[in-house]
Chains A and B, each alone.
Chain A
Amino acid sequence: MFETLLSPLRKLGHWVIEAIWRLGVISRFFVAILMNSGQSLLRFHLVIREMYFSGVLSLIIIVVSGLFVGMVLGLQGYTTLVRFGSADALGALVALSLLRELGPVLAALLFASRAGSAMTAEIGLMKATEQLDAMSVMAVNPIARVVAPRFWAGVLSMPILAALFNVMGIIGGYAVGVLMIGLDSGSYWSQMQANVDLHVDVVNGLIKSLFFGMAVTLIAVYEGFDATPTAAGVSAATTRTVVTSALVILALDFVLTAFMF
C-alpha cells in the first residue's frame, strides 16, 4: 500500500534527476567543445569542410522554402490587409514578420532537420564503428577533431542561411504582392523601409539566428556523441536531435523575443 503511493513519486524524482543530469552533461560537453576549439580554428580547413556539408548543401531547401513562405505571407497578408484598406502596408508586414520571427526560426528548424540530423547520424555512426575510439587510441582528441569543427561550422552557417531566407521571403512577397496582385512597387518598398529598423529588426534577427545555430549544433553533436553505439541507438539519437532542437528553438525564441523587442 505504502509502496504503491511512493513509486510514482520515486519515478518523478528519478525523471527530474535524470533531466538535470543530462543538462549538466551537455553543459560540460559545451565547455569541452569551447576548450578544444582552439585547435580546430587553427586548422580552419576542417571548419570549411563542415560548412560545405551543413551550410552549402542546405542552400536549396532554404531558398525554396523562403520563397514559398514569403509568397504565402504575401497572399495571406494581402487578403487580411485589404479589408482594412491598408494593402499598401504589405511590404512592412512581410519584412517585419520575416526579419523578426519567421526567418530565424524557420531557417533554424530546417537547418536542424537537414544538417543537424546528418551531423548526429555521422558522429553516431563514427562512434558505432569505433572510429572515435580509434582516434583516442592514436592520441587524437575526437572532440577537437570531429566535434568542434562541426559546431563552429553550424554556428557560422546559421546566420547566413537565416539572412538568405529573409531575402528570399521578401522577394517572394514582392512576387505575389506586386507582380501577381498588382500593388504599387514603390509602396511595397517604402512602407518596408519606413517600418524596418536596421538595429532593432535586422541585427536582432541575426543575433537570434546565431543563438539558434549554437543550440541546434550543440544538440546535434551531443546526441551523436552520446548515442548508443548500435543501429537502433543512432536512429533514436537522430530523432531526438530533431525533436529536441525544434523544442529548444521555439522556447529560446520566446525568451530572446522577450528580451529583445
Chain B
Amino acid sequence: MKRSIIDLWVGIFVAIGLASIAFLSLKVANLTPQSADKSYALYAEFDNIGGLKVKAPVKAAGVLVGRVSSIELDRKNYMARVNLSIDSQYNFSQDTSAEILTAGLLGEQYVGLVQGGDPEDLKPGGRIALTSSALVLEQLIGKFMTSFAEGGAAKDDKQP
C-alpha cells in the first residue's frame, strides 16, 4: 500500500481520537455551550433547593417547559436564586408559583410551575414571587422525631 494512503488513514484515525476526547471532555464531563434557541429567562428565589442541579427540567402540569440554567446564592438575603430558561411558546401569569419537586422517592429533582389567575404575564427576566422549598427528607424525619419525642414526653407528664 502507498505511503500517502497510510498517512491519510492514520491522520483520520488520530482526528477521530482527538474528536472523541473533545466529546468526552465537553459533552460528557461538562462545559456544554448552551443552545439558546427560542427561550426566555425567569428566576425564582428559594429558601432551600435541596439537591436541584443545573440543567434539571422545569415542568408545568408534568409537561417539560424549560430547564434550570444556573443556580447561585444571593449575597444579600442568602436565598438560592435559580435561573430558569423557559421555552418561548409558553407564557406564565404574574402570580405563578414555583416549587421544587422530586421525581419518585429518590429520583431527580425538578422545578414545578403552577399557573396562577393573574391576566398579566411574566415578562422575560421576571421573578417568580411565590416559591416553596425542596422537601429535605432528613429535616422531615428530624421534625417527626422531635414531635414524636415531645408527644411521648407530654404523655409521661400526665401519667403520675
**A contacts, CB < 8 Å to B:** 45, 48-49, 51-52, 55-56, 59, 84-89, 95, 99, 157, 159-161, 163-164, 166-167, 170, 184, 186-187, 189-194, 196-198, 201-202, 206
Contact = CB atoms under 8 A, between A and B. Distances in A.
B108 A89 contact: yes
A84 B106 contact: yes
A190 B28 contact: no
A85 B28 contact: no
Most buried by A among B6, B13, B21, B108: B13
Interface string B55-89: 11100000010010000000000000000000000
Contacts of A84: 104, 106
Given A160-B16, A186-B57, A202-B24, 15 more contacts: A48-B10, A49-B6, A52-B13, A56-B13, A59-B13, A86-B104, A95-B28, A159-B17, A163-B17, A164-B20, A190-B55, A192-B28, A193-B32, A197-B29, A202-B21
A103 to B, nearest CB: 9
A96 to B, nearest CB: 10
A187 B54 CA distance: 11
A99 B27 CA distance: 13
Contact of A85 (B12, B16, B105): B105
A160 B104 CA distance: 39
24 contacts: A52-B9, A56-B12, A59-B13, A59-B16, A85-B106, A88-B108, A159-B17, A160-B14, A163-B17, A163-B21, A164-B16, A164-B17, A164-B20, A186-B57, A187-B108, A189-B27, A189-B32, A189-B55, A193-B27, A193-B29, A193-B32, A196-B29, A202-B21, A202-B24
Nearest to A160: B17
Interface residues of B, number: 33
A88 B55 CA distance: 13
B112 to A, nearest CB: 15
Given A51-B10, A55-B10, A196-B29, A190 B56 contact: yes
A187 B57 contact: yes
Contact of B29 (A85, A87, A184, A202): A202
Interface string B1-32: 00100110110111011001101110111101
A187 B16 CA distance: 27
Report whether over half of chain A's contact residues are helix, strand or loop; otherwise say mixed.
helix
Contacts of A192: 28
B103 interface: yes
Contacts of B107: 85-88
A184 B64 contact: yes
A190 B13 contact: no
Contacts of A52: 6, 9-10, 13
Interface of B: 3, 6-7, 9-10, 12-14, 16-17, 20-21, 23-25, 27-30, 32, 53-57, 64, 67, 103-108
A121 to B, nearest CB: 19
The list of the 6 closest CB pairs from A to B, nearest first, reads A85-B104, A160-B17, A190-B55, A163-B20, A198-B29, A88-B108
B24 A166 contact: yes
Contact of A88 (B7, B16, B103): B103
Contacts of A206: 21
Contact of A202 (B25, B105, B108): B25
A88 B27 CA distance: 17
Contacts of B16: 59, 160, 164
A12 to B, nearest CB: 46
B81 to A, nearest CB: 19
Contacts of B54: 190, 194
Given A48-B10, A166-B20, A186 B67 contact: yes
